[in-house]
Structure 1
């Protein structure tokens, strides 16, 4: 195993792949450097002397500037480096790319659910959606009424643990005995009890929007909800409306038509102020949802081309290895899918800071390059007006594990998008319609961004992490990919795939990317249940277009 890595020949940083110590002599190719500081794995040190204000380069782009005179062998950290990124402009199109060899996948299919609009789902869900937060309690009542009786619940293992402790306490156990009690944790679904075996679940999209705020918030929310209702993983929906809220049913219907002009899925709309009593509303909702499930259960998986897969790309809890293992690995997976005619959605605009020129140049059209520039600059300006900025994006966890500036984080995060041309620039919550790489304007916030990617049509999400996060989605499998083997072993109950093999076993980016694509095909076919689905991790947070990094 190598101990250090230079990501690009132009870089003046080396990445520590294992813990290094002050006084060690590091030899890398033709460079010989004596370490002046301890350098933990995932962190970086300089390969040359720098004066105050001089540029620090990684991934061949500007990622920071020295805040003081520094020497080769110095560890870089938040006290001696400040964020810096290159400016960008509308340049020439650079859309030539080296397409990967896809021969082995050309005739491969996955088993999915065909919809009337020609799309194919990787799952088959029924949705229950409130138009406004006032209906959230009614959703909870419906959830209690339907989930376990229809076989979509999960064993209450933690409740069983509590019951065991209650028994011990009542039997006279003291505090020490309680703390030392070993309880086996098990997490199993009730699949064998499902009344409708072809329906993967009933999902309830609780949210705190729909009224108050500004009217644009309601319009955007309706667009997002329309994206979920028309999503290929959704068979139909029950929609609960109070009646007087800003997010009106007619706005939702208009947004649905934008995404599917011939929309024909079963959708039941109930307005509480018209129906009357709560009991009448809930009784009607239960009957209509049950009837919808009967119809949804008629759907069966059938072979579909890989071009019907739309991958969402996400990272969260990133570390200093994310940009050299997990992110470029799924970047190659992205390139493979694009070459096969599929769609890929890359989001998190605050995490493209510093690589805008590369992204802009890869846009197929100058119009899209201009749109990308406008969205980025508007977003950055609004963040600054709010007293923040993209430079404040890295979290304490990011910084602790080697991502000390937003530009370092962004340059690594952008690797998720591979090398293919940018087919379209989308503003939240627009739908991805063009095959190829689509860029979607969202925050870097994990759940807001994942929620948005699914609303734009992603039917599988690849989510890289270096620190560990349980994030999932109600209707789409979120494949969690570890950037390092330590994390994969430590949190294997929430992580699906390990790319730490790139760091410590010599696996190539290309080999890992192909391995991930094969895994995606299994997930899309319903053959593998990812950890987030097993745990019922149904995260759903609409973005209100305020400043969220």
Structure 2
């Protein structure tokens, strides 16, 4: 890779600008000499050859677009002169061989996690409070107000005000000066040090806008998702609020839990408001059940676990023209390392696999899974077209501004998060990860909906690559943010965990950066280092209603 421009794959006929390039600059790439005919912005692409209307354009070695205007050699590739195009794919798979990477640097490594009785291991230890319908969101808020701050857990504020201390001083007959000199501010850090239950990482409140109305399938899917959260290895137990008349019935959630974990022994307390004598008694019962549950959860302690117990969600959002060159392939290498160590990385966001379908199909270990992936992709694409859209409308304005001008271009870079290992299983939304190796999970391209789905299918930690920056987190699984470029890391260091911009500048290779990512994942999984999303209390939770979400 030149420090000014790069051809990513020998088949590519467009070149990415590593730095901003000036008109008139002489370029030597892939055995060709050319003169740039216009300025090329950093992260954007220029033509390696002359293109006539209809000519195919390749990047990452795959078809990413077609010319809709004549494009001279050395000119910028833009949304005006190129339209989305992707390769056709077939259901049948071709032979695929994989060579696992060297994992000698990780042999014998463990992480300190929370063992559950079913053999799974959590990277955290949380209690959940869940409404089965949006009608119960207020009761969830009341419970949060009653418990979080008092028990030393995160609040939506940077500090807490202890008004009770002033009241106590007043009742004791203190003077105005004594009252004024009474300390009443407690920071988040101070609160966390004084947790009532030090082995419980938090109480998480999963408010949502579903559970009733809409179609019955929405409620069924919601219950399966919530069951996935309750049975996630990062969760010790749950308090569930039901109104009583909603579509998402308690029995529906219980059935979903039983389908995942027939012998589930985690405490789950159900409270139905329409069967309660009053709201006050409902809240009182909820507080007591939750408090007692926390006392039991606090008895758990971290212990060493093999890396094979890691279920790693692979996510991206706010991508830029460098994401497919640095952050995503580096995460892909970390994914391959984890596969070789017996772990389970999970690649999601099916709209962002557009254009690389045949590669994914070929990587499926079984014909059953290759067919399932084929069917899911065809159905998703058809659903988008049916509402007047399509995968070609996936890139956001931010993506386009930073060089990702077609969905296939964006997808080809995004798919690199999944590395090169075989696909051991293809899962539909809310289906659970059960096999070691690379899993595929059908989620939308929406960042938070997808991350929510990953954790609902069993991921106990998530790595999220970004080129533009995002504060996204998750209530249950730590989310590590990785920047594709150093400029972003320096500007948004408060929310970014790892910088892969050193791959762009040549200080790191994909392989060395992949090892650094996995090492950081292990430290976060062990509770040694907190992800920035956890530190900031980013608890994004958006269930997918299976509509078209690109």
Q: Offset at 1:29? A: 4.8
Structure 2 SS opposite 1:190:
helix
* 1:418-443 per-position Cα deviation (integer Å, ceiling 9, x unaligned): 00000111000111111111111110
Separation in structure 1 between the aligned mates of residue 451 and residue 190 of structure 2, nearest angstrom: 24
Q: Offset at 1:415? A: 0.2
Paired residue for 2:97? Answer: 96
Range with greater deviation from structure 2 (102-111 or 137-146): 102-111
Separation in structure 2 between the aligned mates of residue 391 and residue 468 of structure 1, nearest angstrom: 23
Separation in structure 2 between the aligned mates of residue 188 and residue 195 of structure 1, nearest angstrom: 14
| Alignment of 1:547 onto 2:548 | yes
8 Å contact from structure 2 (residues 154, 202) kept in 1? no
Paired residue for 2:328? Answer: 327
Separation in structure 1 between the aligned mates of residue 160 and residue 75 of structure 2, nearest angstrom: 52
Match runs of 1:155-170 below 5 Å: 156-157=157-158
Paired residue for 1:170? Answer: none
Match runs of 1:488-499 below 5 Å: 488-499=489-500
Q: Offset at 1:216? A: 0.4
Paired residue for 1:232? Answer: 233
Separation in structure 2 between the aligned mates of residue 332 and residue 253 of structure 1, nearest angstrom: 39
Match runs of 1:147-546 below 5 Å: 147-154=148-155, 156-157=157-158, 188=189, 190-546=191-547
Separation in structure 2 between the aligned mates of residue 67 and residue 93 of structure 1, nearest angstrom: 33
Separation in structure 1 between the aligned mates of residue 3 and residue 156 of structure 2, nearest angstrom: 45
Separation in structure 2 between the aligned mates of residue 201 and residue 357 of structure 1, nearest angstrom: 43
8 Å contact from structure 1 (residues 95, 420) kept in 2? no
Structure 2 SS opposite 1:429:
coil
8 Å contact from structure 1 (residues 154, 189) kept in 2? no
Listed as ranges, the gaps of 5+ residues in structure 1 are 161-185
8 Å contact from structure 2 (residues 160, 188) kept in 1? no
Structure 1 SS opposite 2:358:
helix
8 Å contact from structure 1 (residues 484, 503) kept in 2? yes
Would the alpha carbon gap of residues 256 and 157 (structure 1) be closer, same or farther in structure 2, given more than 3 Å must change? closer
Listed as ranges, the gaps of 5+ residues in structure 2 are 162-186
Separation in structure 2 between the aligned mates of residue 416 and residue 33 of structure 1, nearest angstrom: 33
8 Å contact from structure 1 (residues 314, 347) kept in 2? yes
Structure 1 SS opposite 2:128:
strand
* 1:63-111 per-position Cα deviation (integer Å, ceiling 9, x unaligned): 0000011111010010000000011002334331010111221211000
Structure 1 SS opposite 2:221:
helix
Q: Offset at 1:187? A: 6.5
Paired residue for 1:114? Answer: 115
Separation in structure 1 between the aligned mates of residue 361 and residue 522 of structure 2, nearest angstrom: 31
8 Å contact from structure 1 (residues 231, 455) kept in 2? yes
Separation in structure 1 between the aligned mates of residue 134 and residue 143 of structure 2, nearest angstrom: 15
Paired residue for 1:178? Answer: none
* 1:491-517 per-position Cα deviation (integer Å, ceiling 9, x unaligned): 000000000000013310000000000
Structure 1 SS opposite 2:330:
helix
Separation in structure 2 between the aligned mates of residue 37 and residue 159 of structure 1, nearest angstrom: 56
Would the alpha carbon gap of residues 336 and 491 (structure 1) be closer, same or farther in structure 2, given more than 3 Å must change? same
Paired residue for 1:75? Answer: 76
Separation in structure 1 between the aligned mates of residue 36 and residue 160 of structure 2, nearest angstrom: 53
Range with greater deviation from structure 2 (221-230 or 252-261): 252-261
Q: Offset at 1:257? A: 1.1
Q: Offset at 1:154? A: 4.7
* 1:225-272 per-position Cα deviation (integer Å, ceiling 9, x unaligned): 000000000000000101111001111111111111110011111111
TM-score, normalised by the number of residues in structure 1: 0.94
Aligned residues: 524
Separation in structure 1 between the aligned mates of residue 222 and residue 53 of structure 2, nearest angstrom: 47
8 Å contact from structure 1 (residues 154, 190) kept in 2? no
Separation in structure 1 between the aligned mates of residue 512 and residue 414 of structure 2, nearest angstrom: 20
Structure 1 SS opposite 2:496:
coil
Separation in structure 2 between the aligned mates of residue 441 and residue 10 of structure 1, nearest angstrom: 29
TM-score, normalised by the number of residues in structure 2: 0.94
8 Å contact from structure 2 (residues 234, 476) kept in 1? yes
RMSD (Å), alpha carbons? 1.3
Would the alpha carbon gap of residues 89 and 135 (structure 1) be closer, same or farther in structure 2, given more than 3 Å must change? same
* 1:294-348 per-position Cα deviation (integer Å, ceiling 9, x unaligned): 0000000000000000000000000000000000000000000011111111110
